Amino acid sequence: MSGKRLIYFDNAATTRVSGEVMEEMLPYLSSVYCNPSAVYSFASGGRAAVDNARKDTADLIGAKQSEIYFTSGGTESNNWALKAAAESFEEKGKHIITTGTEHHSVLNTCGYLESRGFSVTYLEVEEDGKVSLEKLQNAIRKDTILISVMAANNEIGTVEPVAQIGKIARENNILFHTDAVQAYGHIPLNVNEMNIDMLSASAHKINGPKGAGILYIRSGLRLRSFMHGGLQERGRRAGTLNVPGIAGMGKAARLAAENMIARSRKEMQLRDYFIGRVLDEIPCTALNGHRTDRLPNNANISFGFTEGETVLILLDQAGICASAGSACASGAVEVSHVLTAIGLSRETARSSLRFTFSYENTTEEIDFAVSELKRIVAKLRENSAEYRRFAGN
Ligand SMILES: *Cc1c(COP(=O)(O)O)cnc(C)c1O
Indicate the top mutation candidate among 154, 215, 323, 337 to test ligand 1's pocket, ranked by most ligand atoms within 8 A of CB.
154
Q: Are residues 200 and 269 in the same domain?
A: no
Q: Look up 328 and say whether it is catalytic.
A: yes
Task: Look up the domain containing 238 and give its range.
Answer: 19-256
Q: Is the CB of 182 under 6 A from ligand 1?
A: yes
Residue 317 maps to which CATH number?
3.90.1150.10
Residue nearest (by alpha carbon) to ligand 1 atom 5: 74
**Statement to judge: residues 231 and 305 lie in one domain:** no
Q: Domain ends where: 201, 231, 256?
A: 256
Going from the Cα of 380 to the center of ligand 1, the distance in angstroms, rounded, reads 33
- What distance in Å separates the CA atoms of residue 250 and residue 318, rounded to the nearest whole number? 35
- C-alpha–C-alpha distance, residues 84 and 66, integer Å: 18
| 61 & 132 share domain | yes
Minimum-distance ligand 1 atom for the alpha carbon of 74? 5
Q: Which residues contact 63 (CB under 8 A, 6 or more apart)?
A: 191, 199, 216
Q: How far are the Cα atoms of 26, 76, 248, 255 from residue 20, in angstroms, in the given order?
A: 10, 26, 9, 9
pLDDT at 200: 98
Mean per-residue pLDDT over the chain, rounded: 95
For residue 332, name the pLDDT band (cuts at 50, 70, 90). low
Is the CB of residue 105 below 6 angstroms from any atom belonging to ligand 1?
yes
Domain identity same for 64 and 93: yes
Q: pLDDT tier at 182 (50, 70, 90 boundaries)?
A: very high
94/212 same-domain check: yes
pLDDT class of 286 with cuts at 50, 70, 90: very high
User: Total domain count for the chain?
Assistant: 2
**Pocket probe mutation, ligand 1, options 104, 110, 179, 323, max atoms within 8 Å of Cβ:** 179
Q: Per-residue pLDDT for 328 more than 90? A: no
Return the pLDDT at 392: 81
Evaluate if residue 327 carries a pLDDT over 70: no
Of the three residues 222, 256, 290, the one that is the final residue of a domain is 256
Q: Give 202 Cα–ligand 1 centroid separation in angstroms.
A: 7
**Is 325 touching ligand 1 by the criterion CB < 6 Å?**
no
Of 241-245, 298-302, 308-312, the range with the lowest mean pLDDT is 308-312
CA 339: distance to chain centroid?
16
Tens-digit pLDDT profile for residues 66-85: 999 999 999 999 999 999 99
Convert the pLDDT of each residue in 215-237 to its tens digit. 999 999 999 999 999 999 999 99
Please report, for the domain that includes residue 159, its CATH number: 3.40.640.10
**122-164 per-position pLDDT tens digit:** 999 999 999 999 999 999 999 999 999 999 999 999 999 999 9
Q: Is the pLDDT of residue 52 over 70?
A: yes
Check whether residue 273 and residue 228 sit in a common domain: no
Contact 213 CB / ligand 1 (< 6 Å): yes
324 lines ligand 1 (CB under 6 A): no
Q: Which of 217, 241, 256 is where one domain is finished?
A: 256
DSSP state of 17: P
Same domain? 250 vs 279: no
**Atom of ligand 1 at shortest range from CA of 78:** 10
d(CA 280, ligand 1 centre) in Å = 32
Residues 229 and 327 in one domain: no
